[in-house]
Structure 1
Amino acid sequence: MDTPPPPPSPPPTGTSVPNPPPSYPADTKHPHPPPPRPPSTDSSAPWRYYLTSLAASLFLLYLVLPPTVTNTASALLPSPEPYFSADRFLASRLGYKLVADVPRALVPGGKGVKRGGEGRGRVIIIGDVHGMFHELVKLLEKTNYDPENDYLVFSGDMISKGPDSLKVLDLARSYSAGCVRGNHEDRVLLHWHDLQKKKRKGRKGGRHNGKHPRTAAASIDDLELDPEEDDEEEETVEVADDADDEFTTERIRNERKLAKSLSRKQAAWLDACPLVLRMKKVADLGQVDVVHAGLVHGVHLEDQDPKAIMNMRSLDKRRLTPLPEGERDGVHWADVWNRGEKERRKGDGEGPTTVVYGHYAAKGLDIRKYSKGLDSNCVRGGRLSAFVIGKNKEELVSVGCRTFLKD
């Protein structure tokens, strides 16, 4: 038989036992709320408040002060994420070939050949031709261009605006020249592809409504014309400034007309031009990137904005991202590029990257250590320029131009 537990010991003499709390059903609210918590004794709370306020005030000052004041402090702030890094496949999705490498056999010095040794002849990079065929021929003669040994490269905008775009295009094709896509090639090609699409739709519609395909197509003024239907030459368009006339009705009409005159082979050749033509390990220049408009320093080629490569001139002063076309109240991207290359070479000791470009006719020739701007406004009576890279030296060659577009 189990022995019962002993009774609890009595409390010591002189002490009182507190009454046990009453029991309540589980769903009954406790009638005695807990006592209020004593005030916090954390001495760091005011400091946290002051520091948060100070950080907010400094951020507001950074936003409202002019760039000249904030430039000095900008190095202390974290760098923003690249504005185009969210979609590094944008170029391919838009149908652009982003980067193409020039074979080493075409680069002066060749593979494994030191400066001054045996190797390929020269690379001749031409600025914006804009259909000025006669000036292009003069420039090639002045450079003593040798198709057997020299590699010819066009830095974009070889067509449009001028009188002989198709002749320039056929000359480039006949010499198997290198090229990059400029903003004018881009717009003309957009017109061309749109015309082909509408032409196909027009022919399809002609079959369904009982008309001959050509009759149906002729009712749509945007369709491709036969050569005998459009023998007029490109006419002179008088404009004041390239940025101001980019999207005028006259400009669009002329681009549409040029697009109609392109053959399929000509359009396919232009379509194959990449946005960046890259030459590696060029003596004294390091890597050479040929583009039409520019690049953002510190951003990999694969992450560059394809539209900016063809169109940009200036960068936002704070964020160092390309400004929209026509906005020039910023810093020239070449300023940032040259400063960045100088600092980068101090830090890692790697070879430089030199950018050769066109597009900026308002600045004219802009030859610096790590960038070479070649658009010298030929179509408006300036000069047509070439940057010649040889085994022993680099040189600038140019010829005078007729005035085709007038201010």
Structure 2
Amino acid sequence: MFKDGDDVGLASETTPILRNNDARLYNDDNNGDDDDDFSLSSERTSRRNKIWIKIIYLLGSLVFIPLAYYLLVYLPRQAPEASKKPLNIVKLGSLPVYLYPAMKQGLEFDMDFDLELELSNDKYQFLDEIVELQEQMVKKKKKFVKRLILIGDIHGSFNQLTNLMQELKINYQDDHIIMLGDFLTKGDDSFGVLNWAVGNNIGCILGNHEVEILKRYAQYHGLKQPQFVTNNTSNEDEKKINDNINENFITKDFFDLDEEMKIAKKLSSHHIDYLTNCPLIYELGRVSHRYKQSETFIDDQPIQGIAVHGGLVWDIENLEDQDPETVISIRALAPPDFTKPVENPKSVKGSESWSKHWNIKQQENLQDGKLPQKVFYGHYAKKGFQPKEFTVGLDSGCAAGNQLTAISIWAEKGKHGKIVYRDKFYQVDC
């Protein structure tokens, strides 16, 4: 038995009381064990991280190296070889066909005779009053055709183009077709359209999209940017002309992989040969004349036709003096004198359609006894089909799901044996 006052010491027997120094030693011993455990854990984690880094590098190499080879070596080798032909674009072209048909007695059209041999043969009745003009066409070796067909902006819509050809009942021997620019991009089958055009010797003028494609083609292949040239000029004169008309055209832009660039990278040399044979403006010769689509033809007033993509400025009489960028992009004219071209009419307050002022000017020419000119154009899908007396807009918005439009022009015998010109419009849904 313990007596009161005895020093029992139960605590020291069951739980020794640690002095300060002993506590530090106890804690130091425990911390040392934890540090060893942490060190081993960190070492294992570091080893695992290094292994994963090596695996990631290995996988990255397996993916990156083949991808780099594919993009930098394989794909460039698959691209068609660059054309050796300079990317020259003719500003003004002359129609290679003659729409004043030679007619047999009985008005049956004949495509097979030799013009030079048969020009004076009585069995052929040449209906044009101007014999000199007929002889000029023969000397220029222009082909006689039944119809001249102009098509608005196709924009790669090959299926719709095929439907339009069926609607027109096209005969590639007797008909001459001209696409009014922007026949590539936007649609499902630009190369279907292009290969059809090349294969059937289809006429064309360049639109803003084709010009942009040629710019990108030049960049992709490291070639000189497209140059505008004129016909019937010496090399020295041509250089002076190019220095002037290309000053604002040559671009320093670096083009992204947009739709035009994707097409440009796939173009073969025969595609480039075709595109660079498309002028910006075509002189069509005599065409039909009437006020509006529904009105009768005006046979006693001759009129000359012009084909262009965007439009023309009314106060520039010489077609070769028209600015190339304007020709492919114009939609309106800016006030106050309405001689400055505008691409986006909404961007300039008070701007008016270039076709309005062209019609006014040609009406004045007609009253002054001058030969008026009728412009067939595309590019203005928002306005749609626009038949006027001296301008006809044929871009009816096929790329937006509206219509694809064409006009057929032909010559026939009128009163007193005089040749007269007729036209008819065709449309298919897109």
Q: What TM-score does the superposition give when structure 1 sets the normalisation length?
A: 0.59
5 Å matches for 1:293-312? 293-299=310-316, 300-312=318-330
2:419 is aligned with 1:400: no
Out of 97, 100, 114, the position equivalent to 2:128 is: 114
Q: 1:276 to 1:197 in 2, by over 3 A?
A: same
Out of 361, 386, 397, the position equivalent to 1:366 is: 386
Shift, 1:170, TM fit: 1.0
Unmatched 5+ stretches in structure 1: 1-92, 200-248, 402-407
Shift, 1:281, TM fit: 2.7
RMSD: 2.6
Shift, 1:108, TM fit: 4.3
Report the equivalent of 2:361. 340
2:297 is aligned with 1:292: no
- What do residues 158-188 of structure 1 show as CA deviations (whole Å, max 9, x unaligned)? 0011110011011111121111010000001
- AA in 2 matched with 1:398: Q
Q: 1:198 to 1:122 in 2, by over 3 A?
A: closer
Shift, 1:297, TM fit: 1.4
Out of 178, 196, 200, the position equivalent to 1:153 is: 178
CA distance in 1, matches of 2:400, 2:367: 41
Matched length: 256
Runs of 4+ in structure 1 over 6 Å off: none
5 Å matches for 1:1-400? 95-103=88-96, 105-109=97-101, 113-114=127-128, 120-197=145-222, 253-284=258-289, 286-299=303-316, 300-328=318-346, 329=348, 330-347=351-368, 349-392=369-412, 393-400=422-429
Q: Secondary structure at the match of 2:341?
A: coil
CA distance in 1, matches of 2:87, 2:218: 13
Fraction of identical pairs, as percent: 32
CA distance in 1, matches of 2:324, 2:257: 22
CA distance in 2, matches of 1:359, 1:151: 21
- What do residues 318-338 of structure 1 show as CA deviations (whole Å, max 9, x unaligned)? 232343433443110000011
Q: 1:253 to 1:341 in 2, by over 3 A?
A: same
CA distance in 2, matches of 1:400, 1:251: 33
Report the equivalent of 1:237. none
CA distance in 2, matches of 1:322, 1:377: 26
CA distance in 2, matches of 1:158, 1:260: 17
Q: Secondary structure at the match of 1:342?
A: helix
CA distance in 1, matches of 2:353, 2:196: 33
Q: 1:165 to 1:94 in 2, by over 3 A?
A: closer
CA distance in 2, matches of 1:395, 1:296: 27
- AA in 2 matched with 1:388: S
Please identify which structure carries the higher strand content. 2
Report the equivalent of 2:120. none
Q: Secondary structure at the match of 1:320?
A: coil
CA distance in 1, matches of 2:87, 2:173: 35
- Is 1:312–1:322's contact at 8 Å kept on the other side of the alignment? no
Q: 1:252 to 1:311 in 2, by over 3 A?
A: farther
Report the equivalent of 1:6. none
CA distance in 1, matches of 2:314, 2:342: 18
Report the equivalent of 2:44. none
CA distance in 1, matches of 2:100, 2:367: 27
- Is 1:96–1:275's contact at 8 Å kept on the other side of the alignment? yes
- AA in 2 matched with 1:373: G
- AA in 2 matched with 1:106: Y
CA distance in 1, matches of 2:202, 2:275: 11
Q: Secondary structure at the match of 1:372?
A: strand
- AA in 1 matched with 2:282: L
CA distance in 2, matches of 1:376, 1:107: 26
Please identify which structure carries the higher helix content. 2
Unmatched 5+ stretches in structure 2: 1-85, 103-114, 116-125, 135-143, 225-253, 290-301, 413-421
- What do residues 209-264 of structure 1 show as CA deviations (whole Å, max 9, x unaligned)? xxxxxxxxxxxxxxxxxxxxxxxxxxxxxxxxxxxxxxxx9996111111111112
Q: What TM-score does the superposition give when structure 2 sets the normalisation length?
A: 0.56
CA distance in 1, matches of 2:100, 2:264: 36
- Is 1:152–1:175's contact at 8 Å kept on the other side of the alignment? no
